[in-house]
């Protein structure tokens, strides 16, 4: 009766009065590393914080983690780490690759540090994670070795130099159309990861689909000379796995146009980037085509000592599903939002990154049952905010005008957005299936 009248939480509180400390003992108990914190680090931190990986320290063992306890508390409580900058209160909040900490996980780490960062019982330590060898391909366990590996020409970055953008071209060697089900892009060595800020592989081919020609055009006078974004690598990204029934199309005679951003790190390093491509078996064609688009504004105009807003629009000439959203700006980047303006005039905020950080280029991959389904004629709007004031700690000089450019001190205002296209009939079927799923959940 007490539970029915007061509710579960109130009933527990009432029982705690009757039996002092009994119901709240677990909450007051200081978390330990082995039992409570290590599982969180394994799930959300070790991907970077382990030996020979990109983070400056390993958090695999208690001995490695304990000296950093106060720093960990500060970074976790302010949500600087793990790097995940999506605003969870706006738009879609469910993602396949969500590495952010829940409120409960943050609370556990904070209480562990505030309680003296105890080790706990060694028997409570979870088994270590066997992380894949970074010299191997991640998707090889699913499909075997890549069907095609394309390497850029090597580049030598001096120990001290300005940033460099390396833009060689590689032939794919394809003589027939092939559908892609997974892609990986990476620097070829661990040392190469130190100098590679990001790497882009564009697919240049004579596009056969007239509705996609303008969407991936390079600006060439030749309407069939198109270069669509194929894959991008940055810190925190491993690869791209297409949904079952969808894929990217590579055509005969296609080429990969590289755009690799290198930065000096105090020693001379020579490296190249590699593109591993996994095809559908010959004769097996997916129903739907997926394309990685650059959406947003090509030009930016940011006066000194101002916060500036830039907008860009991308029309969907076919019904589509948005698979992922990855903002791209430079040092003045502050925030970016993606909206859908439907043919009815209705506007929907899909995602908002409110605390952009140039050091982390996160791709936010929507969960299958919430990925936006948008009808033909929708306008996808990208809004970028740049902070060119002294309040922006990353700003090299708030007193100068900033425009578009490749250099880190220049700016950009676009997002990479993965789109799967549908026929009108398939779109209606997808909408109906989503509605049925929602009804079942209710």
In this predicted structure, the answer to whether residue 15 has a pLDDT above a threshold of 60 is no
- Pairing mode, if any, of strands 288-297 and 246-250? parallel
Instruction: Confirm if 157 and 272 have CB atoms less than 8 A apart.
Output: no
Cα separation of 418 and 353, whole Å?
17
For the chain, how far is it from start to end, CA to CA, in angstroms? 27
265: Cβ contacts below 8 Å, ≥ 6 apart? 157, 159, 194, 195
Cα separation of 58 and 317, whole Å?
48
Instruction: Confirm if 135 and 186 have CB atoms less than 8 A apart.
Output: no
CA dihedral for 141, 144, 150, 155, sign (positive or negative)? positive
DSSP codes of every residue in 254-276: -EEEEEEEE---SS-EEE-EEEE
Dihedral pair phi/psi, residue 436, rounded to 5°: -65, -40
Are the folds of 138-286 and 287-442 the same?
A: yes
**pLDDT: which is higher, 85 or 233:** 85
What Cα–Cα distance (Å) separates residue 400 from each residue in 15, 301, 320, 356, 358? 64, 11, 41, 21, 19
pLDDT-wise least confident of 46-55, 121-130, 144-153, 174-183: 46-55
pLDDT-wise least confident of 99-103, 301-305, 376-380: 99-103
- Mean pLDDT for the stretch of residues 129-151: 86
Cα separation of 325 and 381, whole Å?
12
Dihedral pair phi/psi, residue 141, rounded to 5°: -65, -25
Which CATH fold topology does 287-442 show? Jelly Rolls (2.60.120)
In this predicted structure, the answer to whether residue 151 has a pLDDT above a threshold of 90 is yes
pLDDT at 132: 67
Predicted confidence band of residue 222 (pLDDT cuts 50, 70, 90): very low
- Mean pLDDT for the stretch of residues 359-385: 93
Dihedral pair phi/psi, residue 424, rounded to 5°: -60, -40
**pLDDT: which is higher, 253 or 442:** 253
DSSP 3-state helix, strand, coil percentages of the chain (rounded to 5)? 20, 35, 45
- Please, what CATH class does the domain formed by 138-286 belong to? mainly beta
% of the chain beyond a pLDDT of 90: 64
Q: Which residue has the tokens 């209705």?
A: 346
Token reading at 404? 């578009």
**pLDDT: which is higher, 56 or 433:** 433
pTM, 2 dp: 0.80
pLDDT at 278: 97
In this predicted structure, the answer to whether residue 427 has a pLDDT above a threshold of 50 is yes
What Cα–Cα distance (Å) separates residue 200 from each residue in 59, 231, 232, 245? 30, 6, 4, 25
Domain range summary for the chain, segments of one domain joined by +: 25-122, 138-286, 287-442
Instruction: Confirm if 290 and 209 have CB atoms less than 8 A apart.
Output: no
Cα separation of 108 and 33, whole Å?
10
Cα separation of 53 and 210, whole Å?
44
| Burial zone of 419 (CB within 10 Å; 0-12 exposed, 13-18 middle, 19+ buried) | buried
Instruction: Confirm if 230 and 201 have CB atoms less than 8 A apart.
Output: yes
% of the chain beyond a pLDDT of 70: 86
- Mean pLDDT for the stretch of residues 55-72: 93
Do you find a cis peptide bond into 166, omega within 30 degrees of 0?
no
pLDDT at 23: 38
Instruction: Confirm if 278 and 179 have CB atoms less than 8 A apart.
Output: no
- Alpha carbon 303 to its chain centroid, in Å, reads 29
Q: Which residue has the tokens 């990208």?
A: 382
In this predicted structure, the answer to whether residue 316 has a pLDDT above a threshold of 90 is yes
Instruction: Confirm if 131 and 48 have CB atoms less than 8 A apart.
Output: no
pLDDT at 40: 95
H helix runs in 81-240, sequence order:
103-114, 140-143, 190-195, 210-213
- Mean pLDDT for the stretch of residues 296-309: 93
Half-sphere exposure of 135 (CA within 13 A, CB side): 4
Query: What is the average pLDDT value for the chain, to the nearest integer?
Result: 86
pLDDT tens figures, 232-289: 887 666 788 898 899 999 999 999 999 998 989 899 999 999 999 999 998 889 999 9
Dihedral pair phi/psi, residue 181, rounded to 5°: -110, -15
What Cα–Cα distance (Å) separates residue 266 from each residue in 162, 263, 358? 12, 10, 21
In this predicted structure, the answer to whether residue 3 has a pLDDT above a threshold of 50 is no
Instruction: Confirm if 77 and 106 have CB atoms less than 8 A apart.
Output: yes
């Amino acid at each position: 009766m007490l539970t029915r009248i007061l509710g579960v939480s109130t009933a527990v509180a009432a029982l705690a009065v009757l039996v002092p400390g009994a119901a709240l003992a677990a909450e007051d108990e200081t978390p330990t590393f082995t039992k409570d914190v290590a599982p969180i680090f394994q799930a959300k931190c070790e991907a970077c914080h382990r030996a020979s990986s990109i983070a400056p320290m390993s958090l695999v063992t208690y001995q490695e983690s304990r000296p950093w306890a106060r720093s960990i508390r500060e970074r976790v409580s302010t949500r600087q780490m793990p790097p995940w900058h999506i605003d969870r209160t706006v738009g879609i909040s469910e993602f396949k690759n969500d590495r952010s900490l829940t409120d409960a996980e943050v609370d556990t780490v904070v209480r562990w540090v505030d309680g003296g960062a105890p080790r706990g019982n060694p028997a409570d330590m979870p088994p270590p994670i066997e992380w894949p060898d970074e010299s191997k391909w991640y998707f090889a366990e699913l499909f075997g070795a890549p069907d095609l590996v394309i390497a850029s020409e090597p580049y030598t970055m001096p120990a001290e130099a300005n940033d460099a953008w390396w833009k060689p071209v590689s032939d794919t060697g394809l003589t027939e159309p092939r559908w892609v089900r997974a892609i990986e892009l990476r620097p070829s060595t661990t040392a190469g990861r130190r100098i590679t800020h990001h790497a882009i592989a564009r697919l240049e081919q004579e596009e056969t689909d007239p509705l996609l020609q303008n969407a991936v055009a390079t600006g060439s006078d030749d309407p069939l000379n198109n270069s669509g974004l194929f894959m991008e690598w940055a810190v925190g990204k491993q690869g791209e796995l297409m949904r079952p029934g969808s894929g990217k199309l590579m055509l005969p005679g296609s080429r990969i146009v590289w755009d690799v951003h290198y930065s000096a790190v105090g020693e001379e390093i020579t490296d190249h980037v590699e593109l591993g491509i996994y095809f559908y078996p010959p004769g097996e064609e997916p129903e739907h085509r997926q394309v990685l688009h650059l959406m947003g504004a090509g030009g930016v105009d940011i006066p000194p000592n101002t916060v500036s807003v830039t907008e860009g629009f991308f029309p969907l000439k076919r019904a589509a599903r948005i698979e992922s959203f990855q903002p791209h700006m430079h040092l003045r980047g502050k925030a970016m939002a993606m909206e859908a303006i439907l043919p009815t005039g209705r506007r929907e905020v899909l995602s908002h990154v409110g605390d952009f950080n140039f050091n982390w280029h996160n791709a936010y991959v929507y969960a299958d049952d919430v990925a936006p389904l948008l009808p033909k004629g929708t306008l996808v709007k990208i809004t970028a905010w740049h902070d060119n004031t002294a309040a922006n700690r990353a700003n090299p000089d708030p007193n100068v005008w900033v425009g578009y450019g490749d250099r880190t001190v220049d700016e950009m205002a676009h997002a990479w957005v993965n789109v799967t296209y549908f026929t009108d009939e398939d779109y209606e079927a997808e909408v109906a299936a989503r509605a049925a799923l929602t009804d079942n959940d209710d």
